[in-house]
Amino acid sequence: MGQVFRRIAARDEILAAGLAADLNGSFERLVLAYQDRLYGFALRLAGNRQDAEDITQDAFVRAYHALQAYPAARRRALAVRPWLYRIALNLSRNRRRGKRPPIASLDPEGEGAGPDVPDVDVGRLPEPAFDRAELRRALAALVGALPPRYRVPVILRHVQGIAYREIASILGLPIGTVKGNVHRGLRLLEEDLARQHDITSGRRGDRAQAGRVMHR
Amino acid sequence: MTRPEFLGRDSRARQGGVARLLRDLGDARAPGTIFPAVLERLGLGDAYGRLDTPIGPVFVAYNAHGVSAVRPGGSAKEFEAAFRTRFGRPIRRAGGLPAALAGRLGRAFRGTGRPSVHFDLRSVSEFERAVLRKALSIPRGEVRPYGWIAREIGRPAAARAVGTALARNPIPLLIPCHRVVRNDGRVGGYLFGPEFKRRVLADEGVDVEALEARAHAGTQYYGSDTTRIYCFPTCRNARRISPAHRVSFRSAAEARGAGYRPCAVCRPSLAS
C-alpha cells in the first residue's frame, strides 16, 4: 500500500511540475491520469452516470481555470489528488442544492456493468437470491442513501482507497472526526445490508423497497 | 436459510466484509466522452478544416498549440482516421477554419509574406524536431540534400535517420520536408509519392527537370568564377550566376580544390 502511495505521489509531483512549466501542454495528462478516479468518485456521490459525467467534466474545466490563475510556484507545490477531489466534491454539493437528496436507484442502468470479478475474497454465497452482482448493486444503493456526513468519507476511504490523512485534508476535518464518520458509516451499511438480506430472503422480489432503507 | 459468510455475527468481521465489497465499487471507467469534451471546452482539443491551396485541397488540424497535422487530398473521413491513428486524440470538424488562422495558412501555402504559423510538435522526438526545424529553414523554390540537414543539426552520420524523421513529419507542406532531396540530387521519395513531391516543388518554382539533369550529370554545386564562391544549385545566390561565369562542381572537395569557398547563405559545407 505504502509503495502504491509513494508511486502516486511521485507521479503527481511530475504532473505538478509539468503543469507549472506548461499548463496547456500538460493538462491532457492530468485528465488522463485522473478521469477514472474522479468519475468513480462522482458516480458514488451522484448515484447516476449522467450526473457523474457532468461533475467530472466540470471538475476538470474548473481545475484548468484555477490553474491558469495560480502562479507557477503554487502549481508546482500543488497536492494534485486531494485538490481534484475537493473540486469534484464541491461541484457535487452545489449541484445537489435545489435537488432532492438522491435515493440511489436500483435501476441497473445506473450501474456500471463492471467486469465480473471472480468470487475470491467474499467466499461462498450460497444464496442464489443474493449473488455478487446484486450485492454490488444493493451496496451501491445503500452507499447512496447514507447521509453525506458518512457517505463522503466512506467513499473516499473504502471505495477510492485514500488514506485518512488525505481525506482529512480533502474534507477540512480533523482526522479523528473522519475516522469516526467512516466507522459509523460502515456500521450503518453493514446493518442495512443485513436488514436487506433478511427482507430479501423473506420476501423476494421487493428489492426496490429494500434499497430505500433510509437513515434518520 | 444461511446468511452469507460476511454477514456473520462478529460486527468487526462484518465491517471488514463490507469494506471489501466497497472496494469493488471503485473500479469505474470514465466514459470515453469525458476526455474530448474537457479538451473541447477548454479549447485544447484538435479541430480541423479544409483549405484550398495552389496544390489542391488540404486538411489542416489545429489546437491551442498551433497546427498539429496536415494532409493533402483524400476524404474528411480518411483524414480523421489518420489523425486518430497517429495521435490517439479525438478530433472534430470545425465549421470553418478561424479567420486569422485561415489567413496565415493561405499565406503560408502560397509562400507570400512572413511565415507566422505555430506548430504543435509535442508528439515528435527531440531529434525529429531538430530535423523539422532545419527543413523549415529551406527557402521556397530551393532544395537541400538529407546529408545537409544531418550535418547542420550536428549529426553528420545520421542522414538515414533524417529521412525517417522527415517521413514522419506530421505537418507536411507547411514544414517543407518536400524541399529535402537525395544526396545525389535526385528528388527522392515522399510521404504522398514522388510525383506529388515534384508537383509541389514545381509549384514553388523549382525547375525539377534541371534538378534531375544535374543529378544525372553528377553536378552537386555551382560556383561563380567572379566571386569564387560555391553554392547548392538552387540557392538564390547560385541562381544569380550568369551562365558565362557558372562553374559546375561534383563535390565540395573539388570546389575547395579549385580555390572556392562555401556560400554563407546555403552553407553547402562547413566553412573552413
Same domain, B144 and B164: yes
B-chain residues within 8 Å CB-CB of A38? 30
In chain A, the number of structural domains is 2
Nearest-CA distance B52 → chain A (Å): 30
Give residue-wise pLDDT tens across range A124-150.
444 445 677 888 888 899 999 999 999
Does A11 or B224 have the greater pLDDT score?
B224
In a domain, A139, yes or no: yes
- What whole-number distance in Å separates Cα of residue A139 and Cα of residue A190? 9
Looking at the fold, whether B58 and B91 belong to one and the same domain comes out as: yes
| Structural domain count, chain B | 3
Cα separation of B245 and B232, whole Å? Answer: 16
Q: Give me the residues of B, 41-80, that contact A with CB < 8 A.
A: 41-42, 44, 64-65
B170 and B189 share one domain: yes
Range B63-71 average pLDDT: 90
Cβ contacts (< 8 Å) between B33 and chain A: which residues?
53
Contact B2 A49 (CB under 8 A): no
Average pLDDT of span B67-76: 93
How many pairs of residues across A and B have Cβ atoms under 8 Å apart? 127
Inter-chain CB proximity B29 and A39 less than 8 Å: yes
Q: Find chain A residues with C-beta within 8 A of B22's C-beta.
A: 139, 143, 154, 158-159, 189
CATH number at residue A83: 1.10.1740.10
Model pLDDT, residue A122 = 44
Residues of chain B found within 8 Å of residue A52, distances taken between Cβ atoms:
28
Pick from B31, B130, B108, B30: nearest CA to B62: B108
Residue A24 has pLDDT above 90, yes or no: no
What is the Cα–Cα distance from B216 to B13, expressed in whole angstroms?
86
B13 touches chain A (CB under 8 A): no
d(CA A105, CA A140): 9
A93 and A3 fall within a common domain = yes
Q: Is-catalytic flag, B263?
A: no
Domain that holds residue A192: 127-216
CATH of residue A165 = 1.10.10.10
Q: How far is CA B44 from CA A102, B25, B65, B89, B144, in A?
A: 34, 32, 8, 11, 35
* pLDDT surpassing 90 at residue A30: yes
More confident residue, A117 or A80: A80
A145 inside domain: yes
Distance from CA of B81 to the nearest CA of A (A): 20
**What is the pairing mode between strands B56-63 and B46-53?**
antiparallel
Instruction: Give CA B252 to chain center in angstroms.
Output: 29
Query: Cell 436459510, residue?
Result: B1
Contact B251, B244 (CB under 8 A): no
Cβ separation of A38 and B30 shorter than 8 Å?
A: yes
- Across the interface, whether the CB atoms of B38 and A140 are under 8 A apart is answered no
Helical ranges in chain B per DSSP H = 11-24, 34-41, 76-87, 99-110, 126-136, 146-152, 159-167, 194-203, 208-217, 236-239, 252-257
Of A27-36, A109-118, A203-212, highest mean pLDDT: A27-36
What ipTM, to 2 d.p.? Answer: 0.76
Is residue B9 domain-resident? no
Q: Nearest CA of chain A to the CA of B67: how many Å?
A: 14
Round to whole Å and give the CA distance between A40 and A49.
Answer: 10
- pLDDT band of B260, cuts 50, 70, 90: very high
Candidates A44, A122, A160; nearest CB to B20: A122
- pLDDT value of residue A99: 60
Q: What chain B residue is nearest to A155 in terms of C-alpha separation?
A: B22
B193 with B243, same domain? Answer: no
A204/A141 Cα distance (integer angstroms): 17
Residue B25 touches partner A, C-beta closer than 8 Å: yes
The answer on B128 and B206 residing in a single domain is yes
Q: How far does the CA of residue B38 sit from the closest CA of chain A (Å)?
A: 6
- CATH number (domain holding residue B55): 3.30.160
Which of residues B64, B85, B110 is at a domain's end? B110
Task: Evaluate whether residue B68 is within a structural domain.
Answer: yes
Q: Give the per-residue pLDDT at B13.
A: 61
Q: What is the per-residue pLDDT for B245?
A: 96
Q: Do A122 and B4 touch (CB under 8 A)?
A: yes
Q: Are B72 and B25 in contact (CB under 8 A)?
A: no
Domain that holds residue B58: 46-110
CB atoms within 10 A of CB A162: 22
CA B180/CA B165 separation, integer angstroms: 12
Residues B72, B104 within the same domain: yes
The mean of the pLDDT values for chain B is 89
- Among the residue ranges A97-106, A120-129, B27-36, B62-71, the one predicted with the least confidence is A120-129
CA atoms within 13 A on the CB side of B115: 17
Quote the minimal CA–CA distance from B124 to chain A in Å. Answer: 14
Check CB contact under 8 Å for B38 and A57: yes
Answer for the pair A159, B21: CB distance below 8 angstroms, yes or no: no
